[in-house]
Structure 1
Amino acid sequence: MQEQNQREQWGSRAGFLLAAIGSAVGLGNIWRFPYVAYQNGGGAFLVPYLVALLTAGIPFLILAYSIGHRFRGSPPLAFRRIDRRLEFIGWWQVAISFVIAAYYAVIIAWAVRYAGFSIQQDWGSDPEAFLMEKFLQVGDVGTVSEYVSGVFWPLVAVWVFVIGVLALGIRHGIQRANMFFIPLLVVLFGILVVRAVTLDGAELGLDALFTPDWSAITDGSVWVAAYGQIFFSLSIGFGIMITYASHLHRRADLSGSALVAGFANSSFEILAGIGVFATVGFMAAASGVAVGEVASDGVGLAFIAFPQIISTLTAGAGFFGVLFFLSLVIAGVTSLISIVQVVVSTVQDRTGLARIPAVLIVGGGIAVVSILLFPTAQGLHYLDVADHFINQYGVAMAALVIVIVLAWVLRKLPMLQEHVNATSAVRLGTWWQVLLGIVTPVVLGWMMWDSLRQEFEVNYGGYSTDFLLLVGGGVAIGALVFGIVASLFPWRRSDDFQPVDLPVAERGERT
């Protein structure tokens, strides 16, 4: 295991911030937020969304940063150093990251192919049939899976690139990649947004997105949707920010960094909403239908609705399509790198392996699972169910356990607050403990209850109960079981360390 003074550090605060923003800004920013906002009050949704960011998102980011920075380790090691009984939470997060990385990569591979398809609009007049039948060759659940070579090769390329970046390390790999890709993403998506808002009918989509339905403010489900979007968008519960913060300098500004990362992520989501709904408005006007008939989210938005829109453009269709799908690729890759880094860092801490062997073992292992399962006729079904269950009952549940244990069981928030205030420009007060100890667990608990209620009312996606239990229950329960079992094995190397705890004389000084 690497001692804290040997742990590789970020080259600069800007490098860390761009990496944190790169992790947060992912596929969900582009294809989830706009539709969630549209469905939950339009412009009025921004009120609960902003409240959720300030009362739960940023406070939890600060919590994650403080854990990683003070205890200098990957999630299992950091939680072990807080209290050995908490090690299972860290391993639970590692398992969650493993599962998400395995299927997240295949969506990036689809976007890579679709960037090429955009040039000549190879999907033809029926993008849905092209996606499901010709490209993914989706089969019914339970049928014999066939390998899909059109997905296989770009997926291999994605994994080769991600493993290559990770092998170069924190400073020369992850930091440099994000310092190149995040500005590039902003430029590409900015061009796309400018083009989108100049399309005929763009105002229809923007009116649909931003016209406030103030009655939605009193609807509890709208507030749940706002908090859910914030939690999933900011990579909370993955262990990513704990891992990234463990590589920060001793005098890092934790609360200030959380504010920058949180608001940058939300700003990109709003930018994405403008671009997506301006384009949707154009499609609605061209088709003579209401915006609601065109609007969608997830795979349907990216790989069915947008190809339809691109084909409708009279000029620059190929350029517009390449911009959109390259933006998806970049947003996805920067997030995937951060997810895999959680597992890599854990293997290094647990075994003492050097960087490159750890990356090859971890990256190669996740890549094998990813390549075996998802470029098949069953791949879309596995992805859909695994994504739903690991997010609802993995990411969100892990976050709930963390705040309850640290706030109420072990009462560690005062210690972590003091640590943050020792170096941060924005000082935390009692309000931070109240938000994490009361607001966050109440909201997460309500989300869990509401989600479980819906599971028992109707089978998710219309899948059979057996399939949902096998795949969905398998990844959600399996991740927790793995975390518990992994925490039972003793560490072969000493985990003694001196936590980053500034002397009282240095507190309040800034660098």
Structure 2
Amino acid sequence: MAPEDLDVTNAKVQIENEVENVDNNVEVTTAPIDEKNAKEIENEKSNEWGSNLSFLLAMIGSAVGLGNIWRFPYVLYKSGGGAFYIPYIVALLIFGVPFLILEYAVGYNFKSSFAKGLFKINPKFEFLGWIVPLCTSGIMVYYSAVIGWIAIYVVLSFFNGWTENPGQFFGETLLKSTEEPSGLFKFVPVILLTMIACWILIWFISHQNLEKGLGKVSKVLVPLLFIIMIVIVIYCLTLDGASIGLSKLFQPDWSKLKDYTIWTAAFGQIVFSMSLGVSLGFTYAGYSGRSTDLISNAVTIAVTNSLFENFCALGVFSVLGYMAKAKNLTIDQLEEDGLVTAGPGLVFVAYPAVINVLGKVGRFLGPAFFITVFLAGLTSILSMVEPISFCIQNKFNVTRKQSATGVILIGAILSLLFSSKYGSTLLDYVDTYINNVLALFCTVLECIVFAWVFDVKRTIKTLNARSKSIKVGTWWIAIIRIILPICIAFFWVLSLRDVIKARNTAKIVVFIITTIIVVIISGIFTILKPTNKRWKEAENRL
């Protein structure tokens, strides 16, 4: 064979190999396939969904969490009842769905971690690429404390172990809560041990390959979560007096539509419940296959999340209506007694108080409710491990098992602060900062970087080609380039103003310290040189 014929044959073989690699979702590289490169490629394969169903259920699991159960019912009740659905639907349509599609489009394009994606858009943005996943990690750290509390209540629910005074039991007996910073160094043993047990469970699921761990668990836990909640709500709707609670919940107060706070509450609920702006959508889309219908998935997840939190509201207020009738009180009077509330107060105080009144029925409803809340929290916290873990894998060429183990170990150590007597107070401060200040700030920056610098218009053709029904176009570009950044920035300014007006010195100190920690860690990760040869490579898939 002539030399030129041999060259042609080799070229054909090389092209065929490259095509095969693309079909298998492997980035093509001209680097030699030595042991180190083989490790890098194998690590990428461990971060792929086995099917679109795995991706869809995992995203639903990350969205459906405590925000749906303990935040939305109260927000709906306090924000004009039925009137709240006008700003809520507006926020869902111009924020929730468009922003989720944006995160999916850019994440899918790069098939990489958030930090690597922003580095490829512009190396100057790598710093932001670490801040956003660290924001998610911050939520994961304090979220673990709440998961620990819920795990304790799962056990207590079988015998109403919170006594006849759930409020006193939760704050004084269980948490031993104090607002004195000195309580930071006094740990509550039962909470500490429960949190450690929860971290072990999280590690067991997260350190495995994506499909074998999170994918398989999501296929079990998410449907189970929905089934249990459906059973609970249907039963609650049959309770005597349920209509009292539902009438109060949905009674529209149209005058509140003139108040900007109802609009900020709607946008805040969408951010909180759909986990927007914290790189989860970007990361999960990077794990997805080439045939994934990103637009339909985004709409499905948004609708499912909304239906779930509205369904939760039906159950919560049906039970409150039953309690109101049993005690011959109004819903407003229950609110005065602290039984109509949001956050931990609803789950750990109001609901146990209601279960006490239900008698034998409470023996079924209590365990079912707290198991549901635990599953919702678990599916959410599992998703929070992914963004920072994937970033570390991408830049430093460590395996999924190593990065997940490291992230979880550090997270577990930091979370010990929330097992102290000052833990619940600290949790409230950190939660306010991350969700109302840091996450919103990151969301605005994401809109600017993705929509303007990256020029997300080039993703439209492929997005629409793979969408079975819904298409994006000029309206989507206008929303994410102009409307969305303005709305979120407005909400962010209002949140920051509320923090300043509160004049809570301890809270402001926590804000400053948290900001310094996030900036320093992001700076260190940015400055460190990558050990992964593929760090500067990215596959443009759209």
TM-score, with length taken from structure 1? 0.93
Q: Which amino acid counterpart does residue 412 of structure 2 have in structure 1?
A: A
Match of 2:458 in 1: 415
Aligned to 1:355: 400
Could you say what secondary structure the match of 2:439 adopts?
helix
| Mapped pair 1:27 → 2:66 | yes
Shift of 1:199: 1.5
The answer as to whether partners of 2:105 and 2:463 remain within 8 angstroms in 1 is yes
C-alpha displacement of 1:290: 2.4
Match of 2:282 among 235, 238, 242: 242
Supply the distance in 1 between the matched residues of 2:380 and 2:44 (Cα, whole angstroms). 27
1:493–1:32 distance in 2 versus 1, CA, 3 Å = same
| C-alpha contact 1:17 1:261 (8 A) present in aligned 2 | yes
Flag structure 2 segments of 5+ consecutive residues without an equivalent: 1-38
- Within 2, Cα distance between the matches of 1:261 and 1:46? 18
Tell me the SS of whatever aligns to 2:182: coil
Among 277, 282, 300, the alignment partner of 2:317 is: 277
CA distance in 2, matches of 1:496, 1:142: 45
State the alpha-carbon separation in 2 of the partners of residues 482 and 288 from structure 1.
55
| 1:421 alignment partner AA | N
Residue in 2 that maps onto 1:508: none
Q: Per the alignment, in what secondary structure is the counterpart of residue 124 of structure 1?
A: coil
Deviation for aligned residue 1:488: 3.3
State the Cα deviation string for residues 332-363 of structure 1 (Å, max 9, x = none).
00000000111211111121111212221111
Q: 1:420 to 1:482 in 2, by over 3 A?
A: farther
- Name the aligned partner's letter for residue 67 of structure 1: V
* Cα distance in 1 between the residues matched to 2:208 and 2:267: 36
Equivalent runs, 1:52-71 vs 2, <5 Å: 52-71=91-110
Match for residue 531 of structure 2?
Answer: 492
1:437 aligns with 2:476: no
Deviation at 1:402, TM superposition (A): 1.0
Matched position secondary structure for 2:484: helix
**Paired position in structure 2 for 1:446:** 490
Distance of aligned partners of 1:342 and 1:30 in 2 relative to their CA distance in 1, 3 Å threshold: same
Q: Is 1:178 the counterpart of 2:222 in the alignment? A: no
- Who is 2:512 aligned against? 473
Question: Mean alpha-carbon deviation: is it higher for 104-113 or for 287-296?
Answer: 287-296
From the superposition, tell whether residues 15 and 237 of structure 1 become closer, same or farther in structure 2 (CA, over 3 Å).
Answer: same
Task: Name the CA distance, whole Å, in 1 between partners of 2:62 and 2:406.
Answer: 22
Structure 2: distance between partners of 1:241 and 1:186: 21
Alignment correspondent of 1:337: 382
Q: Is the 8 A contact 1:66 1:419 kept in 2?
A: no
1:267: Cα distance to partner?
0.7
- Percentage identity across paired residues of the two chains: 33
Which residue of 2 is the match for residue 375 of structure 1? 419
Q: Which amino acid aligns with 2:117?
A: A
Q: Which residue of 1 aligns with 2:147?
A: 108
How much has 1:88 moved relative to structure 2?
1.6
Q: CA RMSD in A?
A: 1.7
Structure 1 stretch 116-125 or stretch 265-274: which is displaced more? 116-125
User: Partner amino acid for 2:456?
Assistant: L
Tell me which residue corresponds to 2:330: 290
Greater shift, 215-224 or 29-38, is seen at 215-224
One-letter amino acid matched to 2:437: Y
| Secondary structure of 1:316 counterpart | helix
Number of equivalenced pairs: 495
Residue in structure 2 matched with residue 222 of structure 1 by the alignment: 262
Partners of 1:257 and 1:440 in 2: CA distance: 20
Match of 1:507 in 2: none
Give, in whole Å, the separation in 1 of the partners of 2:446 and 2:400: 28
Aligned partner of 1:482 among 510, 521, 531: 521
CA shift for structure 1 position 472: 2.5
Q: Is the CA contact (8 Å cut-off) linking 2:48 and 2:211 kept in structure 1?
A: yes
Give 1:480 deviation, angstroms: 4.1
Between 285-294 and 352-361, the greater mean CA deviation after superposition: 285-294
Alignment equivalent of 1:263, drawn from 292, 303, 307: 303
Please, what TM-score do these two structures have when normalized by structure 2? 0.88
Q: Out of 151, 176, 193, which is 1:153 matched to?
A: 193
1:70·1:419 contact (CA, 8 Å) conserved in 2?
Answer: no
Q: Does residue 94 of the first structure (1) align with residue 139 of the second (2)?
A: no
Distance apart, 1:157 and its partner CA: 1.4
More off after superposition, 415-424 vs 345-354: 415-424
Task: Give CA-to-partner distance per residue, 1:285-334, whole Å, 9 cap, x none.
Answer: 22333213131000111101111101010322121111111111100000
Question: Contact (CA 8 Å) 1:393, 1:476: kept in 2 or not?
Answer: no
Is contact 2:175–2:188 with CA below 8 Å preserved after alignment?
Answer: yes
SS at match of 2:134: helix
Cα drift, residue 478 of structure 1: 3.3
**Which AA in structure 2 matches 1:107?**
V
The amino acid across from 2:510 in the alignment is: V
Which residue of the partner structure matches residue 327 of structure 1? Answer: 372
Mean CA deviation greater in 385-394 or 131-140: 131-140
Which residue of the partner structure matches residue 390 of structure 1?
434
Question: 5+ unaligned residues in a row in structure 1: which ranges?
Answer: 503-511
Paired position in structure 2 for 1:14:
53
CA distance in 2, matches of 1:2, 1:203: 58
Q: Which amino acid aligns with 2:393?
A: Q
What is the CA deviation profile of residues 43-96 of structure 1, one whole-angstrom value per residue up to 9, with x for unaligned ones? 111121111111111110011111111111111011111221211222001211
Q: Secondary structure at the match of 1:119?
A: coil
SS at match of 1:499: coil
List per-residue Cα deviations over 1:129-161 (Å, max 9, x = no partner): 111111111123123432211111221111111
Q: Which of 247, 253, 256 is the matching residue for 1:207?
A: 247
- Kindly state the Cα deviation for residue 106 of structure 1 after the two structures are TM-superposed: 1.0
Q: Secondary structure at the match of 1:249?
A: coil
Q: In the alignment, what sits opposite 1:141?
A: 180
> In 2, Cα distance between the equivalents of 1:240 and 1:452?
24
Counterpart among 329, 336, 349 of residue 304 in structure 1: 349
Alignment partner, residue 48 of structure 1: 87
Q: Which amino acid aligns with 1:118?
A: S
Q: Deviations over 1:474-498 (max 9, x none)?
A: 2245324533453233323332335
Residue deviations 1:439-481 (CA, integer Å, cap 9, x gap): 211111111111122122223xxxx40x223322322453245
**2:74 & 2:67 partners in 1: Cα distance?**
10
1:421 CA displacement: 2.8
SS in 1 for 2:93: helix
- The corresponding residue for 2:292 is 252
Residues 292 and 466, structure 2, Cα contact 8 Å, conserved in 1:
yes
CA pair 64-2 structure 1, distance change in 2 beyond 3 A:
farther
Distance 1:203 1:472 in 2: 43
Q: Is the 8 A contact 1:310 1:321 kept in 2?
A: yes
